[in-house]
Amino acid sequence: MSIAELPANAPRGTWGAVMLAIDSNGRIDWNATEETIGRLAASGVDGIYSNGTACEFHCQTETEFERLSGLVAAVASRAGVPFQIGISQSNPRVARDRAARVQQLGSSGLQFTLPDWWPPSDDEVVRFASGLAEAAPDVPLILYNPPHAKRRLTIAGIVALRAVVPSIIGAKLPGGGEEWFTEMRRELPGLSVFVPGHTLASGYAQGAHGSYSNVACLSPTGAVAWWSQIQAGDPAATELQTRIQSFMMDHVIPFRTRYNVSDAALDKSLAAAGGWAPLGPRLLWPYTSVPDEEIPILANAARRSFPEWF
């Protein structure tokens, strides 16, 4: 299914992740975070979203969740930019409560992960997603099912879930090879499937509809320009994907083993190196960040790799 054939309320294109500015005391700097959200919303992305991995949803208090959700809604609404709120939480009861609490904010969707302390059974997955839909009956749902999830759904599993919970209009998935995309196109018509940002050119060519983009962590305007190239069928878009993946493998992925850091730390290092917002690499306690001294090196590498973005 092409983008044009998706339901009107389904997400499309390149979406940028909201990230938290953390001060020297390890607390959220709300003024800098608001400025970051504003710059992201003004960058030209198709939408913004809170409480993905890059937003450290797993490490927020409920008070912080409330404040951030309201801030994202206010800034995005003023800018006229679609936004989604991530309600993911290890405790499924808290996730359901979050859905009920933010349903009035006017978001175009609620992103959710499956409970992850104990992998849910098929029946529990359906019961959980149904509970989210009942808690926020007027807001579409977006499944976020990353590679590190304790319960990974197959395409057949997503088909079965959507049959019971039709308000699921999109999914953030890791993608796969040609066979995976063939099955996706056949079995998931009408579902907006987003793939990782660094695979967007090849994913779009095989039927994906957009990305919650890690590339936008480095440069929101660069990610937007690349998306325009992809949609136009510009051969340079494929060459740029090769450059993006080489940059990630050579300069970003090594941080994972060098400093034993999370994906959130990698995303924050990209944002700090991109320099488009008042963001440093620091994560909320107790998680390890990419060291400050690595950021200028990464920034130089980014500008060598993507001179057209800077």
Distance CA 289, CA 275 (A): 17
Quote the pLDDT of residue 251. Answer: 98
- Smallest Cα–Cα separation from 200: which of 216, 189, 179? 216
Report phi then psi at 85, rounded to 5. -110, 130
pLDDT tens, residue by residue, 259-270? 999 999 999 999
CATH code matching the domain that covers 3-233, chosen among 3.10.20.90, 3.20.20.70, 3.40.50.2000, 3.40.605.10: 3.20.20.70
* Cα 227–Cα 231–Cα 236 angle in degrees, nearest 5: 70
Which pLDDT belongs to residue 156? 97
Give the pLDDT mean for 190-203: 98
Given a cut of 70, whether residue 68 has pLDDT beyond it is: yes
Q: What is the mean pLDDT of residues 107-111?
A: 98
278 pLDDT band (50/70/90 cuts)? very high
Domain ranges of the chain: 3-233
Residue 2 pLDDT: 46
Q: Where are the alpha helices (DSSP H) in 59-174?
A: 62-79, 92-102, 122-135, 155-164
Confidence of residue 148 (pLDDT cuts 50, 70, 90): very high
Indicate if the pLDDT at residue 70 is higher than 50: yes
